[in-house]
Amino acid sequence: MRQDSLFHDLPSPSKIRQADEDRLAELKNQIRHHDYLYYVKDHPEISDGEYDRLFRELLDLELKYPDLITADSPTQRVGAPPLDELGKAPHERPMLSLDSLMDPEEVLAFDQRMKRELGTAQIDYTVEPKFDGLSVELVYDRGTFVRGATRGDGTTGEDVTRNLRTIRTLPLQLQTDTYPDHLVMRGEVYMRLSDFHALNRRMTERGDDAFANPRNAAAGSLRQLDSHITASRPLVVTCYEVMAMTGPPPSTHWDELEQLATWGLPVPTLRRRCETIDQVLAFHRETQEQRDHLPYEIDGVVVKVNRVDWQDRLGMKSRSPRWAIAFKFPPRKEITEIQDIAISVGRTGTLTPLALLRPVEVGGVTISRATLHNADEVARKDIRVGDTVRVERAGDVIPAIAERIPISGQVRPEPFLMPQHCPICGSAVAREGAYYYCTGQATCPAQLKGAIEHFASKTALNIDGLGKKTVAQLVDQELVKDLSDLYRLNQEQLLKLEGFAERSSTLLLEAIARSKASVPLERFLMGLGIRQVGQHIAKVLAREFGSLDAIMTADRDRFQNIREIGPEISESLVSYFQEQSNRRVISQLQQLGVSIMQAGSPQDQTTLPFSGKSFVFTGGLSSFSRDEAKALVERLGATVTSSVSKKTTYVVAGSEAGSKLDQAGRLGVRILNEDEFKNLVNASEKP
């Protein structure tokens, strides 16, 4: 056979591309179908391994042909780059609220009003759950999801299209070939209770603030500027109303829901068509009885006149339709069920057990978690998962379990036990009195956020701009894994964080760089966040040892020879400096340029300009914070006290000075205003 004949038989590049395009389209349809079966119908047909194989094949083809990637591709659910803010989105039709009724007599009166206005003796109703989530508008053009928005003020919402695309139960492309060119629906975004408790458990264990209830969790997740965060949250959506569409609409609301389901859209499965208002009341009673066993949170049922032409005749009021109401359930009161017990790891490593509850109203607030304080309290009250409990809220603080309510015949699990290892970092858990704590300290991610905030505080390294929100982003995005990573940050990394632009990132980097220079030993010790080492003990250690090396090599006996230090503080210090990970972080901080000043000996202190002088501060200063002024005079050799006596050298009086100013006048103590204080300090700092 001739060689040119062999080449002639090979497919052309155009044919190869066409075959790949056909396969890519086929893969999209297959994956959409399996997503629908898995996420909407809860009835998968293939294994996870087979699904992953199809998904990887699609990814490979899209990598080969980036120009073929479309917004409705199953691969595009992972999120997009963060936005500076959510844009505004006007609704095609107003998204109205519903009138809420609680009393069956009010519902009967609603039925009579509908019959009177329509001039009929019988009305069909459709009744469905009132999901406790976030209402959204969903727009499809030619079968493809193109836009989504929150309800907002009813006429204009926030554009959350990119975030909605990450929700697996929302099809990006409608099924079947017969769908309207333009379709606008209303739906509800929410979290299933099991997913909500799993999310809260993860957040609690890593030291973040947990969500108060599933609705807050759904709203907070959907309105993120970073859609990657939304993609990581277990949101679902259910569609329940056609707001606009091209072509003739279905004649009843029931048929609307049936039609939406044929297009692959999730609709309420718990729904009923009722021929009489008595059937509506019966559905409400049955649903209320099922409420505590449903996989999602509802706060009532929605009653709608079924015929669409009757809905049009009844029309709208200013804020609500005349043809629909929310028939609410009475709020749960104080009695609820413990669905899980999670462990919260605080800044200092303390492990606190928290009860994750079926949401309940206490003092007018819906809550889903309550503190169990400590292991001894859990044992004393004999609290276990699955128990029915009464919750109380004293002084508007985090709710607590008041008591367990025994249930006859209930089979209870084994008693709750505190973990032996930190649920976040795996470090050993130690016990101190009634409290357990993680020994991992700043190497534990749950403690790391608090440790960074403490390290950057004004009494420690004083890094301006490292607030709670910024610190959380740095840790969550794994840009800072220990304290030393702060000094490795660059502008490119900071610009990826929410709320950062070129100017703000430059200012933070400058503040971090400034914090490295000439750090007083006591401030560095404070910044390390060693258990039981506050400002006073840090100063005592700096004064007694003079250098960090001397402190790190001291043993228990040496520490306990110091009058202010007892066995517990001594044990805490030795444990901290024996931990190799802590020593490694300290070494890296020094290698990265953190310059720790050695403290002078008592003899050296006598040569400082304010040696032997004592200061009292009262009122507010405009140029210094109280801590900054205090640190300034202490560095010059003075002592600072909280009360005025005859031995006080100076009282520095700022704005709104208190009784200390009067006392200084009576005792004849010299009083300095802020300008006089600054002049005194400047003169003392001159060589």
Annotation says 130 is catalytic: yes
How many C-beta atoms surround the C-beta of residue 42 within 10 A?
8
Task: Choose the catalytic residue: 15, 28, 88, 130.
Answer: 130
Q: Is there a contact between 453 and 466 (Cβ–Cβ < 8 Å)?
A: yes
Beta partners for residue 184, in sequence order: 139, 244
d(CA 315, CA 304): 13
Give the pairing of strands 435-438 and 429-432.
antiparallel
Distance CA 562, CA 454 (A): 26
Q: CA separation (Å) from 426 to 103, 154, 440, 450, 576?
A: 53, 48, 8, 18, 17
Q: How far apart are CA 22 and CA 24, in angstroms?
A: 5
687 Cβ neighbours under 8 A, 6+ residues apart: none
Residues 6+ apart with CB under 8 A from 21: 65, 68
Helices of type H across 38-147: 48-64, 104-118
What single DSSP character describes residue 476?
H
Cβ(211)–Cβ(199) below 8 Å: yes
User: Could you give the CA distance from residue 70 to residue 49 in angstroms, rounded to a whole number?
Assistant: 25
Tokens of 435: 């409290």
* Helix, strand, or coil (residue 512): helix
What is the distance between the alpha carbons of residues 424 and 651, in angstroms, rounded to a whole number?
A: 48
Please give the distance of CA 215 from its chain centroid, rounded to a whole number: 13
432-455 burial string, b = 16+ CB within 10 Å, else e? eeebbbbbbbbbbbbbbbbbbbbb
What secondary structure does DSSP assign to 302-354, as a single string?
EEEESBHHHHHHH-B-SSSBTTEEEEEPPPPBSEEEEEEEEEEE-TT-EEEEE
242: closest CA among 327, 179, 152, 157?
179
* CA-only gyration radius of the chain, Å: 33
Tokens found for residue 324: 């629909």
User: Is residue 384 within 8 Å of 416, Cβ to Cβ?
Assistant: yes
What residues are annotated to the active site? Answer: 130
